[in-house]
């Protein structure tokens, strides 16, 4: 069984004992599920209450630091969501997403090129979307017209810059040159094609699959 260690960052936006208890319950419940699904033996989770680090659309967020450590962000004073909704409805998705990264870090790694990052985020996003159906992440929503436009953009990129790509631009739209969530949506599209065409591939196997093989199995040329 997975061993989970949870700690909290002391910050100016602190949280109460009751809120910590709710977070502990949610985190442990879902981390145990992912640990079993993906074969993760132990994990340290740091909770950082900081409104400036959360995703505005959800009131929470996450970041995978190493193959044994993730950070979860929450906004206790969020005006859009109650803390209970953030903890019980939104946060589980972040746990599934970031722990999928942990499992990938422990095998082939996240990757340091644009396409590797797109695949890693796609795998984590589809895993999150399939395993936690309460909330559909905004970075996994698109229609055929949108994804066609995104693929046109990525195909026209300067491939010589793939190694030194700027993550915030390709995935969050920082700077305004690229659409918000672009890297996530393209990755989600690729991985969903693989899931559709190869349903026999387990999540453990897909999470450890190299980016090039995932793209090849999707049939998408990028």
pLDDT per position as a tens digit, 74-123 = 999 999 999 999 999 999 999 999 999 999 999 999 999 999 999 999 99
160/68 same-domain check:
no
**Which one of 105, 138, 153 terminates a domain?**
105
Total domain count, the chain: 2
C-alpha span between 188 and 32 (Å, rounded): 24
Is a pLDDT exceeding 90 seen at residue 218? yes
Question: What tokens appear for 165 in the block?
Answer: 């790509």
CA proximity to 214, closest of 146, 118, 125, 101:
118
Are the CB atoms for 59 and 87 separated by under 8 Å?
no
| Residue corresponding to tokens 């989770």 | 45
Could you tell me if 140 and 206 lie in one domain?
yes
Across the chain, what does the average pLDDT equal?
97
Whether the per-residue pLDDT at 14 is higher than 90: the answer is: no
CA 78 to chain centre: 21
Residues 49 and 119 in one domain: no
**Are the C-beta atoms of residues 84 and 77 closer than 8 Å to each other?**
no
* CA atoms of 168 and 180, how far apart (whole Å): 9
Q: Kindly state whether residues 44 and 88 are assigned to the same domain.
A: yes
Instruction: Tell me: do 95 and 169 sit in the same domain.
Output: no
| Confidence label for 1 from pLDDT (cuts 50, 70 and 90) | confident
pTM: predicted TM-score of the whole model, two decimal places: 0.97
Same domain, 176 and 84: no
- Give the distance from CA 168 to its chain's centroid: 14
Q: Are residues 98 and 145 in the same domain?
A: no
Region 177-201: what's the mean pLDDT?
98
**Does 25 lie in the same domain as 82?**
yes
**What length does the chain have?**
222
Question: 61, 77, 105 — which closes off a domain?
Answer: 105
- Of 105, 131, 148, the residue that ends a domain is 105
The residue range of the domain holding 131 is 114-218
Co-location of 97 and 183 in the same domain? no
Same domain as 88, residue 17: yes
**Do 88 and 143 reside in the same domain of the chain?**
no
Could you say which DSSP state residue 137 is in? -
For 79, 195, 212, the CA distances from 128, given in Å and listed in that order, are 25, 13, 21
18 plus 96 within the same structural domain: yes
CA distances from 159 to 156, 164, 206 (A): 8, 10, 25
């Amino acid at each position: 069984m997975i061993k989970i260690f949870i700690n909290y960052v002391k910050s100016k936006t602190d949280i109460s004992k009751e809120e910590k208890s709710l977070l502990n319950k949610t985190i442990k419940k879902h981390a145990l599920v992912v640990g079993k699904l993906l074969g993760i033996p132990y994990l340290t989770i740091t909770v950082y209450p900081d409104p400036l680090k959360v995703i505005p659309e959800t009131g929470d967020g996450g970041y995978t630091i190493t193959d044994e450590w993730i950070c979860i962000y929450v906004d206790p004073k969020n005006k859009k969501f109650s803390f209970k909704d953030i903890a019980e409805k939104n946060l589980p998705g972040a746990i599934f997403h970031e722990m999928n990264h942990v499992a990938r870090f422990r095998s082939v790694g996240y990757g340091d090129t644009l396409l590797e990052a797109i695949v890693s985020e796609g795998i984590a996003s589809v895993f999150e979307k399939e395993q936690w159906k309460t909330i559909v992440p905004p970075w996994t929503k698109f229609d055929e017209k949108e994804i066609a436009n995104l693929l046109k953009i990525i195909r026209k990129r300067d491939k010589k810059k793939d190694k030194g790509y700027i993550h915030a631009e390709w995935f969050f739209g920082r700077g305004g040159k690229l659409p918000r969530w672009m890297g996530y949506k393209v990755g989600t599209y690729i991985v969903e094609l693989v899931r559709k065409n190869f349903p026999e591939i387990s999540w453990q196997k897909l999470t450890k699959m190299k980016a090039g093989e995932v793209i090849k199995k999707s049939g998408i040329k990028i």
